[in-house]
Structure 1
């Protein structure tokens, strides 16, 4: 069998040497070049079975040359590598028709794996060109060059070229809607509408009407026909945020739409074609919800076609400088005075736990720019503002991550509780107070999960029904029609 030839083009001799040695050991023949002219000469001569190239070359940007290469040799897989590790690098690589994008510094084993895959299958069909030029780095919707974000960029880049359903997982504030918008804005349906619906913000009894619309007279208050989000998003993207908060009856209807590709309005009988791409998001663990009977397993598999997990900010602390600079530039565009953060201030930011993730960092930067006159923000200002944020947050939770265990959350609450009393001990009764604080939301959550069914809630909690009723009474709670609890007033 003929030996496969890999073309390696990079103006860095060290990169060429490292790749040549690794590829040669793997059994490939390697031809190298240091600029775009050499790359085009090899490609035009019919050399190579795979092309590996850096983006920035001395004489020409590789992205400008790739379309000519694809026209001349459409079956040649092109692997793009770059130290400009932004989401637009990954998206542009996919848009130009590259087989794969790898950020620098790359992992040699990963590179060899990509080369193997490229040799096993033909390069993808020529991709549609995005209208207009690529936005400048400061205009990018998603910021970060950390390794944690690079894999996200690569998945996003691939998914902009398809209509596959995507499920985005991530804590609050990690940017789930930003990812959904990028998938839409750079995807096949970018000329259509982007419609978002947050399940947690809609009353349960109105979700079906919001999704599918309703006919006049379908229910009390339905005085006119109303188009639902599926109709509003026709030809575009429907983003279903916090899908884990969707009630079971609405889950059943959504599953039917995904299976059959059509729906009817509430009170309607005429089927309507569902011409949308679905992107869903949640901060919940859907597998645990399935086990608890709170989420349909068949719907999960329909939605979880391509999962994307967004890392919390504490897992990508190296991105903080880029994020801070991005928010500072946004503040200037909004008319605020230019500021810069000192290296020491950035280090203080990296030591914070960021329970609110990127959204918390953005709010901090905006507040500092607005209220401080200093051109350079030092570490003392950062510490003062973080302390102020801690005082304004829920007791004990300001430095606890959203992924913390229950014991860590309680420990944080208790530390704050004792700190508030200084050297004096708090009044007696702490044990009963803590139990009541934990027990009330626990019972409330169980009742909400079971739709207010006290028998099922008791089974979920592992206690008998009479014990549940007694605890509800002793805690001074009243069960509402929604299944939620509220404190009884003195008059009750």
Structure 2
């Protein structure tokens, strides 16, 4: 048997769940092989010694329990196994625990909860070496591969990193990736704070914390992000917008490695790696006196410039497909991009970068009436320049939700509130339609509920 190293074996016949899990594993740096049947997995486990087996209990050929029993007969030390189960098969999952399985997780589940279980069972899956070949974690363009390589090279060195680039290019995600590259710190907290989102006194309290009674409203002690990130990484977004007076206090903490909470007298030692980001030109800000030169040199040991999306077109389709998979995972709706849709995405300039692309894909998935997305679904007819996206994140989300509610109400009226027919018309599952109706508090009219000649579907409990 060949040693697969720190590798996961996934057995899942649902294409949406399988693809979503594999994408998240890739982003987490977990090496994994995906099989859609127990037979395929049993062949693979004969040839490779996997660290962990993650399997659905219900499979198309034999059950996960039968597969696990086969593994037990074959070897006295099968891979650590975690099962995915529905509510109806919890008893079966408990039986598997008695047989030796490590744990189970019940659908629907949060991906972070699953990762927590995987980490506790097989922490070696999360070792950095496993992502050495995952060359498309941040994108597939040459510029992003170079940035990934740089981050891997500086991993483990306590040097400050400055990330610059336009709004929406994914600076926080790059910072988080840098944290995960650091073997010594990645198990410790990653804290983030937006320096432009808080007024100066609140920013100081969030950075350094405060003692009980330090000011009106300070009813208890508060640990700032420097303390909370002790041993890990602190990400200061939009550091170029930090007031000059706050810059001096930040510099002192960086230099001394200690801080005083507001209202406190005791020096608190902190060991925090600093990653900063801005969309401003800090060199110009230094010349104009808006940014301290000594702080600039402190935070700018390693400088990474993230290019705008328009300058790396090969990443556009990659991110679009990734966002479609993420939407499918969250909403149980599968979509695909037509070749014409991909061409249309490549023709756009994307001034809002990755954030704008994500909104475009989410909007298309919400409003599309079919699985295959075309240029019209992506807003081709609505664009006259790029101003249609000049709205805040909250505004866009609200508009999309309101439009989705109107579409659902119209479809329900057309089909006289017959849920199965309406769901088929909208191209979504009956369960997903009910979830959306609950979310938007859509209730059938009373006269329809009482009309035995034309009854609506019963709302599931």
Residue correspondences, number: 281
For residues 361 and 385 of structure 2, the distance between their equivalents in structure 1, rounded to whole angstroms, comes to: 12
2:179 counterpart of 1:166: no
> Kindly tell me: are residues 391 and 166 of structure 1, through their superposed partners in 2, closer, same or farther at Cα, counting changes over 3 Å?
closer
Deviations 1:5-52 (A, max 9, x none): xxxxxxxxxxxxxxxxxxxxxxxxxxxxxxxxxxxxxxxxxxxxxxxx
Deviation at residue 223 of structure 1 after TM alignment: 2.8
2:361 touches 2:378 (CA, 8 Å); kept in 1? no
Check the 8 A contact 1:152/1:308 in 2, yes or no.
yes
Query: If the length of structure 2 is used for normalisation, what is the TM-score?
Result: 0.55
Query: Are 1:285 and 2:281 matched, yes or no?
Result: yes
Conserved in 2, the CA contact under 8 Å of 1:142 and 1:178? no
Quote the Cα distance in structure 2 between the aligned partners of 1:391 and 1:243: 27
Residue 157 of structure 1 aligns with which residue?
152
Greater relative contact order (Cα < 8 A, sep 6+): 2
Q: Which runs of 4+ in 1 moved over 6 A?
A: none
Q: Is the 8 A contact 2:163 2:277 kept in 1?
A: yes
- Distance in 2 (CA, whole Å) between partners of 1:154 and 1:140 is 9
User: Contact 2:195 / 2:203 at 8 angstroms: preserved in 1?
Assistant: yes
1:212 aligns with 2:200: no
Please name the residue that 1:83 is paired with: none
C-alpha separation between the residues in 2 aligned to 1:205 and 1:169? 26
Q: Where does structure 2 lack aligned partners over 5 or more consecutive residues?
A: 6-24, 32-123, 392-461
Larger radius of gyration: 1
Residue matched to 1:131: 127
1:192 equivalent in structure 2: 188
Q: Can you list the C-alpha shifts for 1:427-481, whole angstroms capped at 9, x where unaligned?
A: xxxxxxxxxxxxxxxxxxxxxxxxxxxxxxxxxxxxxxxxxxxxxxxxxxxxxxx
Change in Cα spacing, 1:330 to 1:371, as seen in structure 2 (3 Å) is same
Indicate yes or no: 2:265 matched with 1:269: yes
- 1:304: Cα distance to partner? 0.3
- Residue 186 of structure 1 and its aligned partner are, at CA, apart by 2.9
Matched-pair contact (CA < 8 Å) for 2:185–2:233: yes
Distance 1:394 1:329, change over 3 A: closer
Which residue is equivalent to 1:253? Answer: 249
CA pair 132-230 structure 1, distance change in 2 beyond 3 A: closer
Aligned partners of 2:387 and 2:279: how far apart in 1?
Answer: 25
Q: CA deviation at 1:200?
A: 0.9
Tell me the distance in 2 between the aligned counterparts of 1:389 and 1:251. Answer: 39
Contact 1:143/1:323 (8 A) holds in 2: no
CA distance in 2, matches of 1:164, 1:129: 26
Match of 1:238 in 2: 234
Name the CA distance, whole Å, in 1 between partners of 2:160 and 2:128.
Answer: 26
Aligned mates of 1:385, 1:176 — CA distance in 2 = 31
Report Cα offsets for 1:146-168 as digits up to 9, x if no partner.
11212111111112232211111
1:88–1:394 Cα change, 3 Å: closer
Unaligned ranges ≥5, structure 1 = 1-59, 65-86, 94-127, 396-492
Q: Secondary structure of 1:334's partner?
A: helix
Relative to structure 1, is the Cα distance of residues 369 and 383 closer, same or farther in structure 2, using a 3 angstrom cutoff? Answer: closer
Distance 1:183 1:391 in 2: 33
- Aligned match for 1:311, one of 307, 311, 325: 307
| Offset, 1:92 | 9.7
Over the aligned positions, Cα root-mean-square deviation in angstroms equals 3.5
Q: Supply the distance in 1 between the matched residues of 2:228 and 2:215 (Cα, whole angstroms).
A: 21
